[in-house]
């Protein structure tokens, strides 16, 4: 069951589960109604950030109980210690309405602060009497009597911050009630945050500010991170230091174990560095490279020699085939020519030019479509002899023979082979490496030169009989070279094995040296690394604290609260209260909006017919605030307390407010200094002002309105008297009552009473209780017949002046009153003189 009826109920429950700083922030926000002093906000932040001592008052923030028993204040006695209030002053509260009326500075606020601080109001600081010497200042001591149902209870109060449990349901109205209540959204509308809903946004704003300050603190803390020399650290450690990352617990443990670098480790580092230098001087790679180079040169020589021999053999075979083909084609061609003996008579018939000549004639004859030429194909003359005709026929036979073509092709192939042989590279160089391997290098060189000579031979041979490969055998030399190569391979394998072993040892040494160097570097930077860890721990701690300042929970709680508290019933009651105070032209709307940090997603909006800008005036704000204050009140069993509720209100609203307060079915206690507001109570037709404040009132008309006059006389404030009994006769009786007390101690009080009696005689007997029209009301309208009876008595007025001056000096001149006070006899003399003067006026 949800028994929460105010934002502070949600916040109180929320605060109970939170860290001390947040609990203090929420409690202070509730206690001040969203007006925490900046110094206190900073104090709470210091506790959040640094864990500095935080004085948290033991506020009782439990939800106000829903009592079925009616609570009534019966009396309040100020014994000592509150501000400059006069000691042993008692207020006896009416069960209906009690008004404490007095001018500013009279001491009303002292009594209000007592009631406020024990009830549901925003805490007000109470200071000791500034007029009393520090050594003579007394502790706060207030006695309060109240009635819960039919039981009278006594409660002693000494200004502890804890509110009395029975009084938590008491509602208090003063200027602090306006804190956060109204926020102008547009020129023609104002958002209202009733029932303390503004506290969510207020707290969220402070939390956001805390988050910003924590971020600033993080950045400031980061500037103190020391620079760690990382050249000799491992990659993983180096990268973390360079990027300013944090180290895990295990990583830190590894580093801290290296803080101490022993002499043994230092000697080991030196030894291993020397060993590494020696190993690095043994350059196996150079030997491997040298033998590899030698093997490469030998292989190149063998490959080239084998290539030349292979190519010469290959071309030798091709050349032999080409020569054989050419000889065959030539023989065939010659046979064909023998068949044409007639052509032998022709000069140069075996030349290529002749062959081209007869081919051209043949082609021309074909072009002329002559199956058997009758004319010469060249001159186109008729052939007249048989010999000419035979020669032409012999041309045709010769040209139709393919042996000529075959001879041409064979000749071309032979030329191509010789061209390839000409381009063949048969140069085999004997390098120094080969010479160092082959003992008889001169003989080898001769064999190689024979290969070159054979190439030349191949280029010019005319027949296959001329082709004869020299009988050269390189097997002995190649075997020697192969053996040498195998020797190099074996040596290289051994060198590689030694190199691998060396590199492994070097790697092991380098790892060990790196480890020792890292240990040494870490040990030398022990202080810096510890500071590095310390600063990162601070940053992590701040980050953790920053997570506590998130506002999402406050926002969620705000939305939860507004759904319950912002109801149509509250809206309706608020509209009724506005109307009761004459503000019926203002419209009230309840609408759903998009929420933001700490803000409700349902809002109560106030608009006017034309413009609501006037709401921002002080008087209108007070009127709206009072209307919402009354709308929030649910329980009729608790009193309400109001401090100067009509400040800045016009006389019309003041009268309406007095009427509204008299309509409540609960105890009402009002502090005011406004005469027009007081008139609203005095002129009530259905109720009455009690004539006595010390005893029960016999008037049963309507409600009992008990009015106290609160005065400040000299340094004594909060002197209480009956507003209705404030007349000269009653004052003179009080003077005589005090003067008859033994021992007599109330010099200042009696002096004040005598002075007040003089002022009352002036009002009652000189001015006949007539008020200036500008301050009159329906009970004090001009009485014309009484004015006629006003008759000044100058001699009596002079006597009144002497009496007034005498006691005024006693009240206001501290030196006179302490060094040469008025005697009791003198005070009695002054009292008797007042009685005589009063009698003369009444005669």
Residue count of the chain, please give it. Answer: 843
Nearby residues of 686 by Cβ (< 8 Å), 6 or more positions away: 662, 701, 702, 703
Token output for 675: 């005469």
Q: What are phi and psi of 494, to 5 degrees?
A: -65, -40
DSSP notation for 637-693: TS-EEEESTTTT--HHHHHHHHHHHHH-SS-EEEEE--HHHHHHHHT-SSSEE-S-S
* 214 conformational bin, left if phi > 0, alpha if psi -120 to 50, beta if neither: alpha
The residue extents of the domains of the chain are 66-119+124-160+639-725, 305-473, 728-842
Cα–Cα distance, 79 to 737 (Å, whole number): 21
Least Cα distance to 628 among 26, 123, 198 occurs for: 198
Whole-number Cα distances in Å, 9 to 162, 174, 348, 528, 561 = 16, 20, 139, 50, 9
End-to-end CA distance of the chain: 73
156, containing H or E segment = strand 151-157
Token output for 659: 């009427």
Cα–Cα distance, 52 to 43 (Å, whole number): 8
What value, to the nearest 5°, has the Cα angle with vertex 494 and ends 492 and 499?
A: 90
Least Cα distance to 321 among 417, 408, 409 occurs for: 417
DSSP notation for 406-428: HHHHHHHHHHHHHHHHHH-----
DSSP notation for 482-509: HHHHHHHHHHHHHHHHHHHHHHHHHHHH
Cα–Cα distance, 819 to 93 (Å, whole number): 39
DSSP conformation class of 762:
I
Q: What are phi and psi of 157, to 5 degrees?
A: -130, 140
Whole-number Cα distances in Å, 624 to 585, 651, 718 = 12, 16, 31
Low-confidence ranges of the chain (pLDDT < 70): 1-2, 57-68, 130-135, 160-162, 185-187, 337, 339-345, 350, 369-375, 378, 380, 394, 396-401, 469-471, 593-601, 608-617, 648-652, 769-789, 791-792, 809-820, 843
DSSP conformation class of 382:
B
Cα–Cα distance, 331 to 326 (Å, whole number): 9
Cα–Cα distance, 76 to 157 (Å, whole number): 10
Is the CB of residue 653 less than 8 Å from the CB of residue 624?
A: no
Is the pTM above the cut of 0.95? no
Token output for 815: 């030196």
> What's the confidence (pLDDT) of residue 62?
47
Q: What are phi and psi of 170, to 5 degrees?
A: -70, 130
Torsion of CA 458, 460, 462, 467, to 10 degrees: -20
Cα–Cα distance, 838 to 732 (Å, whole number): 10
Whole-number Cα distances in Å, 576 to 172, 242, 624 = 20, 69, 12
Q: What are phi and psi of 505, to 5 degrees?
A: -65, -45
Least Cα distance to 437 among 304, 302, 306 occurs for: 302
Cis peptide before 21 (omega within 30 of 0): no
Is the CB of residue 142 less than 8 Å from the CB of residue 115?
A: no
Q: What are phi and psi of 273, to 5 degrees?
A: -65, -40
> What's the confidence (pLDDT) of residue 131?
67
Token output for 434: 């080969």
Beta strands in 84-138 (DSSP E): 89-92, 97-101
Q: Is the dihedral of CA 170, 171, 174, 180 positive or negative?
A: positive
Nearby residues of 689 by Cβ (< 8 Å), 6 or more positions away: 681, 682, 705, 706, 707, 723, 724
Collapsing DSSP states into helix, strand and coil, what is residue 591? strand
> What's the confidence (pLDDT) of residue 771?
62
Give me the long-range contacts of 515-520 (CB less than 8 A, separation at least 24): 516/265, 516/268, 516/269, 516/272, 517/232, 517/269, 518/232, 518/233, 518/234, 518/237, 518/258, 519/258, 519/261, 519/265, 520/232, 520/261, 520/265, 520/266, 520/269
146, containing H or E segment = strand 141-148
Q: What are phi and psi of 412, to 5 degrees?
A: -65, -45
72, containing H or E segment = strand 71-80
Instruction: Tell me the pLDDT tens digit for each residue of 364-373.
Output: 777 776 555 5
Query: In this structure, how many other beta carbons lie within 10 angstroms of the beta carbon of residue 117?
Result: 25
Nearby residues of 808 by Cβ (< 8 Å), 6 or more positions away: 755
Strand 668-672 and strand 640-643: the pairing is parallel
Q: Which residues pair with 521 in a beta bridge?
A: none
Whole-number Cα distances in Å, 88 to 128, 669, 712 = 15, 20, 15
If you count DSSP H runs as helices and E runs as strands, how many of each does the chain have, helices first? 27, 15
Instruction: Tell me the pLDDT tens digit for each residue of 771-792.
Output: 666 555 555 556 666 565 676 6
Cα–Cα distance, 614 to 583 (Å, whole number): 12
CATH hierarchy code of domain 66-119+124-160+639-725: 3.40.50.300
Nearby residues of 363 by Cβ (< 8 Å), 6 or more positions away: none
Whole-number Cα distances in Å, 181 to 41, 620, 621, 759 = 21, 13, 9, 44
Cα–Cα distance, 702 to 686 (Å, whole number): 5
Token output for 249: 């617990």
């Amino acid at each position: 069951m949800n028994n929460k009826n105010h934002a502070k109920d949600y916040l109180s429950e929320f605060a109970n589960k939170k860290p001390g700083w947040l609990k203090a922030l929420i409690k202070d926000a509730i206690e001040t109604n969203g007006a925490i002093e900046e110094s206190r906000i900073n104090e709470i932040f210091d506790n959040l950030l640094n864990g500095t001592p935080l004085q948290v008052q033991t506020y009782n923030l439990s939800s106000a109980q829903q009592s079925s028993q009616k609570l009534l204040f019966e009396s309040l006695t100020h014994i000592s210690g509150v501000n400059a209030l006069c000691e042993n002053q008692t207020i006896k509260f009416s069960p209906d309405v009690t008004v404490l009326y007095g001018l500013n500075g009279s001491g009303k606020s002292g009594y209000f602060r007592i009631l406020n601080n024990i009830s549901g109001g925003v805490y007000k600081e109470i200071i000791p009497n500034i007029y009393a010497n520090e050594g003579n200042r007394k502790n706060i001591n207030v006695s309060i009597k109240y009635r819960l149902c039919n039981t009278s209870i006594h409660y002693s109060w000494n200004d502890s911050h804890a509110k009395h449990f029975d009084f938590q349901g008491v509602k208090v109205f003063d200027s602090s009630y306006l804190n956060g209540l109204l926020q102008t959204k547009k020129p023609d509308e104002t958002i209202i945050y009733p029932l303390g809903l503004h506290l969510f946004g207020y707290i969220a704003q402070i939390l956001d500010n805390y988050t910003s300050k924590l971020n600033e603190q993080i950045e400031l803390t980061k500037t103190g991170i020391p620079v760690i020399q990382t050249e000799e650290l491992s990659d993983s450690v180096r990268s973390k230091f360079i990027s300013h990352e944090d180290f895990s617990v295990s990583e830190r443990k590894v580093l801290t174990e290296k803080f101490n670098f022993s002499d043994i480790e230092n000697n080991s580092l030196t030894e291993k560095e020397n060993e590494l230098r020696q190993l690095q001087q043994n350059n196996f790679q150079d030997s491997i490279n040298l033998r590899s180079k030698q093997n490469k040169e030998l292989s190149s020589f063998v490959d080239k020699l084998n290539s030349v021999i292979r190519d010469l053999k290959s071309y030798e075979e091709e050349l032999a085939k080409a020569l054989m083909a050419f000889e065959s084609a030539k023989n065939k061609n010659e046979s064909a020519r023998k068949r044409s003996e007639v052509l032998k008579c022709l000069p140069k018939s075996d030349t290529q030019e002749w062959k081209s000549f007869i081919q051209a004639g043949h082609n021309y004859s074909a072009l002329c479509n002559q199956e058997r030429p009758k004319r010469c194909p060249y001159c186109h003359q008729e052939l007249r002899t048989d010999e000419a005709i035979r020669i032409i026929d012999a041309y045709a036979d010769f040209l139709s023979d393919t042996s000529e073509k075959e001879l041409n092709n064979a000749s071309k192939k032979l030329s191509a082979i010789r061209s390839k042989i000409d381009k063949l590279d048969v140069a085999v160089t004997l390098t120094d490496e080969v010479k160092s391997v082959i003992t008889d290098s001169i003989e080898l060189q001769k064999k190689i030169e024979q290969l070159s000579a054979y190439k030349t031979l191949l280029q010019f041979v005319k027949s296959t009989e001329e082709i004869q490969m020299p009988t050269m055998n390189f097997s002995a030399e190649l075997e020697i070279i192969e053996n040498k190569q195998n020797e190099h391979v074996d040596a290289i394998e051994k060198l590689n094995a030694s190199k691998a072993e060396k590199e492994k040892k070097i790697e092991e040494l380098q790892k060990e040296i790196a480890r020792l160097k890292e240990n040494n570097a870490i040990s030398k930077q022990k202080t810096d690394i510890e500071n590095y860890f310390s600063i990162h721990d601070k940053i992590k701690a701040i980050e953790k604290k920053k997570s506590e300042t998130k506002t999402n929970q406050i926002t969620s709680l705000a939305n939860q609260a507004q759904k319950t508290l912002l109801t149509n019933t509250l809206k309706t009651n608020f509209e009724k209260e506005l109307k009761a105070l004459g503000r019926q032209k203002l419209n009230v709307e309840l609408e759903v909006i998009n929420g933001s940090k700490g803000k409700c997603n349902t809002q109560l909006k106030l608009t006017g017919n034309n413009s609501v800008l006037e709401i921002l005036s002080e008087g209108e704000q007070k009127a709206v605030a009072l209307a919402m204050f009354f709308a929030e009140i649910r329980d009729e069993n608790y009193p309400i307390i109001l401090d100067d509720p009509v400040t800045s209100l016009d006389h019309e609203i003041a009268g309406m407010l007095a009427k509204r307060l008299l309509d409540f079915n609960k105890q009402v206690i009002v502090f005011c200094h406004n005469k027009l507001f007081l008139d609203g109570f005095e002129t009530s037709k259905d109720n009455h002002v009690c004539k006595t404040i010390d005893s029960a009132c016999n008037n049963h008309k309507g409600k009992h309105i008990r009015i106290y006059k609160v005065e400040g006389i000299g340094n004594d404030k909060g002197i209480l008297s009956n507003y209705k009994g404030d007349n000269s006769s009653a004052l003179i009786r009080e003077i005589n009552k005090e003067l008859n007390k033994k021992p007599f101690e109330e010099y200042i009080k009696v002096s004040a009473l005598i002075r007040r009696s003089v002022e009352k005689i002036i009002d009652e007997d000189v001015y006949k209780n007539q008020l200036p029209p500008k301050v009159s009301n329906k009970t004090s309208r001009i009485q014309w017949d009484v004015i006629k009876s006003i008759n000044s008595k100058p001699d009596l007025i002079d006597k009144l002046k002497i009496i007034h001056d005498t006691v005024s000096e006693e009240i206001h001149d501290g030196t006179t009153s302490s060094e040469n006070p008025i005697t009791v006899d003198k005070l009695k003399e002054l009292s008797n003189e007042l009685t005589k003067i009063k009698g003369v006026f009444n005669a």
